Structure 1
Amino acid sequence: MAKNDTLKTASVLAFERKLDPSDALLYASNWEKRQDDQQWQPVEVREKSVRGTISNRLKDSSKEHKDPAKLDAQIENPNPQSVDVATLPHNADTLVARFTLRVLAGAGTPSACNNAEYQAKLEQAVAKYKQAQGFGELAHRYANNLANGRFLWRNRMGAEQVEVSVRQLAQGKTTKEWTFDALSLSLRAFEDTAELKELSGVIASALAGEQHLLLEVVAYVRVGSGQEVFPSQELIMDRSRGDKSKTLYSIGDDKTGAIHSQKLGNAIRTIDTWYPNEVEEDLGPIAVEPYGSVTTRGKAYRHPKEKKDFYSLLDNWMLKDQVPTKEDQHFVMATLIRGGVFGEAG
């Protein structure tokens, strides 16, 4: 399609996410009986009170910094805290994390767009991507992040064994199952095994709209009896409602620990290795975000000044007919699969 100088970005432009995970519920089991879900016990989030000590960095101008007696006086005062905690019982050595994942068709098709000409141009570009590239590369990377247990976050660290079972469900029954030794797979590279190829093919087929796909993902993590496990931590906006210094996410009357669906989604879409990296940091893949945001480092790896952010790439592709490189096309499509509101504000 020829360049159209009158084409403008739609002011209303939204995309629904195409990888749709549930929350992950956490259970306790024993490694030898991990496959028997009748033996699973919910991991309960409970509250405990502890006595903390002053350990924060003191300002050079503070009284405590200048006068040792002042600091001693502060240390003598107890610092009681109430925190949430989740642990395995002392008769169970394995954490079980279970969630479902829907893979939806329609990647690149906006759920809302108030500019028909822009939508037609976008759909044409997406169709060319599907024909030339397909969803194989993206699906391969998503499959790796299911198989390697990246979605377990801190629960994966220091585990003795981690097994991930991915089951394809149809009408409530398992039609296909893949089992992976998660610790044998890298978190920094995307590996290629026969089982990963098969799982990738199913995901790619679902993204292309060729089949319906619902996956059940179950991870078994051998960490040791009585060990602490890590549900998601809640962000409390109003501290006046309670005095707990840490609140963990739980579901139901039995307060079963859980991991947020947003946190699972972030892990699954940690596939961006195409970002500019001039200093060659050993960072590995980052989550697909419009600006390549990595909050733990306080840095955007796709800054607009480099024209490698999602908006610059999309505008150049749609408005200026500057077709991105193959890697940048993967990133743009992965961002559309992620979903979001991307219209141009007035």
Structure 2
Amino acid sequence: MSDLKTASVLAFERNLDISDAFFWQRDSAGDGALPTPVTVKEKSVRGTISNRLKNAIASDPVKLDAEIEKANLQRVDVASLEVGKDTLVVKWSCKVLPFTGSPSVCNDPAYKVALEQVVKGYLQEQGVSTLAKHYAMNMANARWLWRNRLGSESVKVTVECTVADTKHTIIFDDAKVFSLNDFSTESTELNQLAELIEQGLKGELFVLLYVKGEAMVGYGQEVFPSQELILDTGSTKSKVLYVNNEVSKQAGMHSQKISNAIRTIDMWYSEDAQFPIAIEPYGAVTTLGTAFRQPKQKLDFYSLFDKWVLKGEKPDIANQHYVMAVLIRGGVFGASGKE
């Protein structure tokens, strides 16, 4: 094992294959009418100058007044429920694929054997029940609704799955009772969902989950789809929202954003972690501008992974879960010969 080196070409496919989510709306006091799509509309607004100004302007009343007089004209996309609808309905699906530890691409047969032995040992000793429970919790607590969850009075989550000709319908009537910062909550429904995910990761069943969230946000209230990255610097619109297509204009959320929420299970980056972060090789949280798993501290994925595969040095159980969760996430992990 001392001569073993990390393969220069190494990649894993994701095992939680998540679709885009799309937005619908209904009236909670209605007569059972089918939900209708939430559409994205364009709005032109005249805002005020509110950014931090240079000292020379801010300290001079005349210059400040002249700056404030300038109109801050914007064209933006917005998505809101109709006046007669108070409930946002969001639907997406998740295919759970078998996790065997076998990379999709590896150009070193000896390394591939060592890697597969490591994963096999983990699956035998620890299994995937812990990871499955964490993923299930983030489906049940509706973390994936992001800002829409924060602005809702209540959230109901329904997960449907048909396996071996048996339809399972799992309902979480109050998603907000499940904490965003603690994975210790127990419930029959949560355990049922976790068991389905575990069976899918083990390859015992073909598991395709259909997830629906119903958030009571209020009549006519604004909702929050994904925002597109504007690569065309000549664009005249300052905010562009993601839509199903240019004809229907139905609001949607990127699969990457849903996936990020579901894999926000890393409570193992610190002994006194106050909140989970998404499973990432360096524990990166861009909104905080912080990498919580620093290579200097040997807590990053590559340090833990290389020690485990190349030297046979197992991390503690918590970080074993973390390393395997990164492989389930998928990605390209090869080691270049160039420094």
Is TM > 0.5 for Structure 1 vs Structure 2?
yes
Q: What's the secondary structure of 2:25's corresponding residue?
A: strand
What is the rounded CA distance, in whole Å, between the counterparts of 1:158 and 1:249 in structure 2? Answer: 20
In the other structure, the counterpart of 2:86 is: 93
What is the rounded CA distance, in whole Å, between the counterparts of 1:145 and 1:174 in structure 2? Answer: 24
What are the within-5 Å matches in structure 2 for residues 16-55 of structure 1? 16-32=13-29, 39-55=34-50
Check the 8 A contact 2:282/2:300 in 1, yes or no. Answer: yes
Q: What's the secondary structure of 2:251's corresponding residue?
A: strand
In the other structure, the counterpart of 1:136 is: 129
Instruction: Tell me which amino acid in the other structure corresponds to 2:210.
Output: E
Quick one: which of 152, 167, 173 aligns to 1:175?
167
In the other structure, the counterpart of 1:336 is: 327
In the other structure, the counterpart of 1:123 is: 116
Check the 8 A contact 1:107/1:333 in 2, yes or no. Answer: no
Instruction: Tell me which amino acid in the other structure corresponds to 1:230.
Output: F
In the other structure, the counterpart of 1:261 is: 255
What are the within-5 Å matches in structure 2 for residues 74-85 of structure 1? 74-85=67-78
Instruction: Tell me which amino acid in the other structure corresponds to 1:331.
Output: Y
Check the 8 A contact 1:274/1:331 in 2, yes or no. Answer: yes
Superposition RMSD in Å: 1.5
Check the 8 A contact 2:16/2:97 in 1, yes or no. Answer: yes
Q: Structure 1 residue 107: deviation in Å? A: 4.3
In the other structure, the counterpart of 1:7 is: 4
1:199 to 2:193 alignment: yes
1:273 to 2:267 alignment: yes
What is the rounded CA distance, in whole Å, between the counterparts of 1:270 and 1:17 in structure 2? Answer: 15
Q: Structure 1 residue 33: deviation in Å? A: 5.0
Check the 8 A contact 1:276/1:308 in 2, yes or no. Answer: no
Instruction: Tell me which amino acid in the other structure corresponds to 1:119.
Output: K
Q: Which moved more, 1:190-199 or 1:205-214?
A: 190-199
Q: Structure 1 residue 32: deviation in Å? A: 4.1
1:325 to 2:319 alignment: no
Check the 8 A contact 1:107/1:336 in 2, yes or no. Answer: no
Q: What's the secondary structure of 2:93's corresponding residue?
A: strand
What is the rounded CA distance, in whole Å, between the counterparts of 1:226 and 1:174 in structure 2? Answer: 39
Q: What's the secondary structure of 1:224's corresponding residue?
A: coil
Cα deviation digits, residues 232-275 of structure 1 (max 9, x gap): 001112221x2111111011211000000000000000000000
Which runs of structure 1 show a deviation greater than 6 angstroms over 4 or more consecutive aligned residues? none
Identity within the alignment, %: 52
Q: Structure 1 residue 281: deviation in Å? A: 6.2
What is the rounded CA distance, in whole Å, between the counterparts of 1:16 and 1:72 in structure 2? Answer: 57
Q: Which moved more, 1:72-81 or 1:162-171?
A: 162-171
In the other structure, the counterpart of 2:241 is: 248
Q: Structure 1 residue 156: deviation in Å? A: 0.2
Q: Structure 1 residue 115: deviation in Å? A: 0.5
Q: Structure 1 residue 194: deviation in Å? A: 1.1
Check the 8 A contact 2:49/2:71 in 1, yes or no. Answer: no
Q: Structure 1 residue 57: deviation in Å? A: 0.7
Q: Structure 1 residue 174: deviation in Å? A: 7.4
1:307 to 2:298 alignment: yes
Q: Structure 1 residue 170: deviation in Å? A: 5.1
Check the 8 A contact 2:18/2:92 in 1, yes or no. Answer: yes
TM-score in terms of structure 1 length: 0.93
Cα deviation digits, residues 35-64 of structure 1 (max 9, x gap): x5x52111000100000111001122x4x2
What is the rounded CA distance, in whole Å, between the counterparts of 2:250 and 2:16 in structure 1? Answer: 24
Q: Structure 1 residue 158: deviation in Å? A: 2.8
Check the 8 A contact 2:267/2:273 in 1, yes or no. Answer: no
How many equivalent pairs are there? 334
Give unmatched runs, 5+ long, in structure 1: none
TM-score in terms of structure 2 length: 0.95
Structure 1 residues 272 and 281: CA distance shift in structure 2, 3 A: closer
What is the rounded CA distance, in whole Å, between the counterparts of 1:281 and 1:329 in structure 2? Answer: 17
